[in-house]
Chain A
Amino acid sequence: MSKSRVNWPAVALIAPAVIILLAVGIYPLLFALDVSFRQYQLTKLYLGTDYVGFQNYVAVFNDALFWQSLGRTAQFFVLTVPAQIVFGVLIALFIDGMRWKALSFLMRVLLVIPIAITPTVVGLVGRLLFNRDFGFINYLLSLVGVPPVSWLGEPLPAMVTIALVDIWQWTPFVALVMISGLSLISQEVLESGKLDAGGGWNLFWHVQAPYLLPGLTAVLILRTADILKLFDMVFVLTRGGPGVSTELVSVYIQRVGFRIFDMGVASAQAILLLILCIVLARGYIRLFYREVEA
């Protein structure tokens, strides 16, 4: 009997997952790779779908709009993630240090709500709150004497709007990640830290901050991935407009594929995005899952 005897019952338990994942996960990616080397215009299929070598990739590299959409995505990251981290950490410190334990528990539960809400609906509510004429945001601003802002009608305010909505939705996520970091600090460490470092900033920097570092790394990597994916909220709130001023990379590729119908070029863009995503995932795994590969 050979040593590597196959455990057939175990294979039968795991096989469906492997087969389905290959069929709906890997096969489409190979399909996209194939299409990315073809001429493939959905509205001009009479032109045929012949292989065109790297022509689509050359087109992407020369496409200023594609690089601009990546640049805008980076800009969006800069507008949102630092704010989410600062507010997230502050909220986490506040909730973790609350004396009123029942209220602290309630806050932790309620913070889940923004994270879970359908992003499409978040986009719709954003339309309402940021409406120029009767939106609540402009009403609040009018109380301090600011004239109405056309949030969704001009490029910069539109970018600020989607950033604010993203900050609203994802700051609670950062806060909850940070709370789980803070909860790892034992009471003894905290007490002796208070004696050594005093309170306030010293306590935070020397005692609490080290516990927040792993969560911070996770937040940075996951937010990067999620911003590269971001589509629904922006699609509903601004459709990438006005003009292309809020067209983040996923929104742009969707437009090239499903509104311009150039599947070849869109696939080439998607493959480049995929490579970016895999590099990110590699980094994430190296940081957090070394043990599972053993």
Chain B
Amino acid sequence: MSVAPQARSVRRTRFNRHLFTHLWQGAVALLLIVAFLLPVYWMVTTALKTTADTFAVPPVLLFQPTFEHFRIVYEEGSVAKSLVNSLIVATSATLLSVLIGAPAAYVLARFQFRGKADLWFWIITNRFISPIVVALPFFLIARDLRLLDKHIALILVYLTFGIPLVVWLCVDQFRAVPREVDEAATVDGANLWQVFFRINLPLAMPGIVVSAILAFIASWNELMFALVLTRAEARTAPVEAANFMTGFGIRWGPMMATGTLIVLPVLIFALLVSRNLVRGLTMGAVK
């Protein structure tokens, strides 16, 4: 009889303590989320505010949203064109990186050969090389070949990071496919290409898709090469966005609308591969 109330009070204090932990952890979590997402929120809301609201001090939190800036951006056409250019360049660079990188990753995962260590070294080193080192000579080469302001120049230079990224992430993936699967298929009379395309490629597809998405994000976000290698025709979205900063009087609304349009696909992709982003950025050193 006398035990029951005591147990109940113990249970109640434990409940209170849990509630307290939940509350303070929830509060800190909310603070962190606000801190890390505020710039994104600010960008999107500025894109949706009237110019008068943008300059308001103190900032207006509740406002009547307008799509005026998006309409301006659409009608002026250069942003839309740059987004199309970005799409062409990033998609092509990604597809080529996967087409060229995935078979190489398979061979690296399965075979021993001379020069393999050097190839590894090159692939990892690439993660460390400042793009300006490649941009200077690439500009001069592209100029001599009359490839400036053409999509192909950018697509080719993006392979310098696209292929290594795909190779790196896919080697892990192909290593996870048991060798016995290959051997069984070989016994059944399949040649190496059939073993690769019919068996390994489908099995490694999840990893290949992740590496493709990461290569796409990297190509989509790239500024320096695009700045150097394009003028008007092949200009990509980041260059277009950076151009808002030149000239007199910054047009904040259209600028933030452009920023929103650029960031939107990246956000979707990033959330899709959120578990693998760090692995990609550290070239697999941190899982």
Residues from chain A with a CB closer than 8 A to the CB of B140 are: 31, 35, 263
Query: Is B187 at the interface (CB under 8 A from chain A)?
Result: no
| Contact present for A113 and B270 (CB under 8 Å) | yes
| Contact present for B285 and A288 (CB under 8 Å) | yes
List CB contacts (< 8 Å) of B229-246 with chain A: 238, 241-242, 244-245
Q: How far is the CA of A60 from the CA of B28 in the complex (A)?
A: 49
- Please, what's the 1-or-0 string for A247-272, where 1 marks a CB less than 8 Å from any CB in chain B? 00110011001100001001100110
Query: Is B217 at the interface (CB under 8 A from chain A)?
Result: yes
Interface residues in A, total, Cβ within 8 A: 95
| Contact present for A13 and B196 (CB under 8 Å) | yes
Residues from chain A with a CB closer than 8 A to the CB of B163 are: 17, 20-21
Q: Which of B35, B106, B227, B278 contacts A13, CB < 8 Å?
A: B106
Judged by DSSP, the binding face of B is: helix
A91 and B241 contact, Cβ closer than 8 Å, known pairs A7-B192, A17-B101: no
Query: Is A222 at the interface (CB under 8 A from chain B)?
Result: yes
A222 and B250 contact, Cβ closer than 8 Å, known pairs A32-B136, A134-B54: no
Give 8 closest A-B pairs by Cβ, nearest first: A116-B270, A17-B104, A232-B223, A13-B103, A31-B137, A9-B192, A28-B137, A120-B238
Extra contacts besides A119-B223, A133-B55, A274-B130 (7): CB < 8 Å = A98-B25, A100-B26, A128-B252, A173-B278, A236-B245, A249-B130, A281-B124
25 cross-chain CB contacts under 8 A: A13-B107, A20-B159, A21-B122, A24-B160, A94-B32, A107-B29, A110-B37, A113-B36, A114-B39, A116-B267, A116-B277, A118-B221, A121-B259, A121-B263, A124-B245, A124-B256, A136-B42, A173-B281, A177-B286, A218-B286, A249-B130, A254-B135, A273-B132, A285-B124, A292-B120
Interface residues of B (CB under 8 A from A): 18, 21-22, 25-26, 28-29, 32-33, 35-40, 42-43, 46, 54-59, 99-101, 103-104, 106-108, 110-111, 117, 119-122, 124-141, 156-157, 159-160, 163-164, 167, 191-193, 196, 217, 220-224, 227-228, 238, 241-242, 244-245, 250, 252, 255-256, 259, 262-263, 266-267, 269-271, 274, 277-278, 281-282, 285-287
